[in-house]
A and B are shown apart, each in its own frame.
Chain A
């Protein structure tokens, strides 16, 4: 097993995601395996679409960890999968092979601490901006990033006031000497970017989503991706596997919306990417370095919904139109105050959309299905 290997997980090994860990059932041996969160992420990537080096690069980006360390971990973990005969082409079973023990410190099957995450920064710098009638706080762990933000948000900056933190931009070192910029709303990771220009665009979208009322929109908690003027929506794509999925969609040319929610036009049922509600210095933004790996966010406007992708880890995806409306509306921001209005908007949105149920953030399955629908 080397970094250039392209191992594939066995089709007949069943898996179930439970609280971020994967429980595997090997039909051939009748054995159960419990994967750590990191091993789970690696397992989900073993779909034959990439080498271990490519998988390691993806995970290093997602988790913000050094590439060399991640690559070594990936190779070691996949070797352990092979020893347990969980991969295609590893069926030369030896009955006397000792099982992997869950307390083996080097085993991917152990329970370990949560996946590495940059977390919110210990702030080295802050900025307060006015968005509509609100004062919102930004935090940075890097002076260069803070300087860029002060330039971009100069028209809306407020001095002598330090608002509580709404948006954080965290810089970390990534592979090959390049940095990554992680954008958080409160403590929730919303996106990661290569270039400062794209990170500031994301910050502007996050500030806008927090700072203004959007009475004309029903707001749903879902990930919005856009290509060729059409939208795909993913339910609940918020954890590390969701971040890996959005990375794959980006590579397939889909633009990922920065906000933690998307708006549905109550009259048309189309999803809406609103204009920024925060004033920015457009020239300062344009002057910031950009990275070709960063895709532009979807432009402000309305998009018809091609597909709602129901990430169904509970096995209970609804089959009826009414059930689907209820499911999609369940996490709506305003469901507590405007049930009828939200349900009506979601029903309109889903009327012309496909409903797709996928399991456990299987990135390949999702991307392929979205590609098929997009024609």
Chain B
């Protein structure tokens, strides 16, 4: 089965045909008809599996969950490396009303949890891990990998094409806290996006104008959430208002 993660074209095969089917279900939103340039193979059967990349052993035999985690981690890294000219942000990105919502943050900040809630609220899914911003169009390019929730990977069925970013919300999850969407200074937002970027500090000179245009064209703020369902509703309302403003 062939797949594409941003600009990285690859296949995944497995010795165990049932595991190969499971992987295909997990990665179905990345499925692609273009020829694969690289290949992953999960070797072994039963309860011990190893991972190879282009014929080289990547990880020693182990439980299936850790092998799949490693596979996703390798795909993430290859996806980031495949579009070096983009502004690559450690962020979830979703779409509603034709507007992209970027949720930057380090691991554990609630990106994937929020992404799952937003999908339930009707948002289209682009990624829960990497937001690749095309420097020309300022569109977020989809990378609909499986959601990484708690200790499990969850296949996604909702997907979206490239979308123009209209909102950047920095999620902060706090149990029981009231939901709030507080606008922030966009220069501060630019610094925060850069600090959550995979490649800004290496390519800042060429990416700074992209970052400038990105934040100037977006609502920027903090999303504090205790109840993720309410947060999703509030975010949807904000983005729909943004969409109305853009089409006036």
- Chain A positions within 8 Å of B, measured between CB atoms, are 12, 14-19, 21-23, 25, 27, 30, 32, 34, 111, 313-316
Contact = CB atoms under 8 A, between A and B. Distances in A.
Nearest to A111: B185
Classify the interface of chain A: helix, strand, loop or mixed.
Answer: strand
B74 interface: no
Given A18-B190, A23-B187, A30 B202 contact: yes
Contacts of B217: 314
List the 5 closest pairs (A to B, CB-CB), nearest first: A16-B212, A25-B204, A21-B187, A18-B187, A30-B201
B185 A27 contact: no
A17 B208 CA distance: 10
A86 to B, nearest CB: 14
Contacts of A27: 204-205
Contacts of B208: 14-16, 23, 25
A108 to B, nearest CB: 14
Interface in B198-246: 201-202, 204-205, 208-209, 211-213, 215-217
B133 to A, nearest CB: 13
Interface string B180-194: 000001111011001
B148 to A, nearest CB: 28
22 contacts: A14-B205, A15-B208, A16-B190, A16-B208, A16-B212, A17-B212, A18-B186, A18-B187, A18-B190, A18-B212, A19-B185, A21-B185, A25-B205, A25-B208, A32-B191, A32-B204, A34-B187, A111-B185, A313-B212, A314-B212, A315-B209, A315-B213
A314 B213 CA distance: 5
Contacts, number: 58
Nearest to A12: B205
What bracket does the count of chain B residues touching chain A fall in?
A: 20 to 34
Contacts of A15: 208
Contacts of B202: 30
Nearest to A27: B205
Contacts of B209: 16, 315
Nearest to A13: B205
A119 B212 CA distance: 29
A313 B217 CA distance: 12
Contacts of A111: 185, 188
Given A23-B190, A34-B187, A34-B188, A18 B216 contact: yes
Nearest to B209: A315
Nearest to A360: B212
A161 B190 CA distance: 51
A330 to B, nearest CB: 14
Contacts of B204: 14, 25, 27, 30, 32
A25 B203 CA distance: 10
A347 to B, nearest CB: 25
B211 A16 contact: yes
A18 B201 contact: no
A34 B201 CA distance: 15
Query: Which of B191, B208, B211, B215 has the most A CB atoms < 10 Å from its CB?
Result: B208
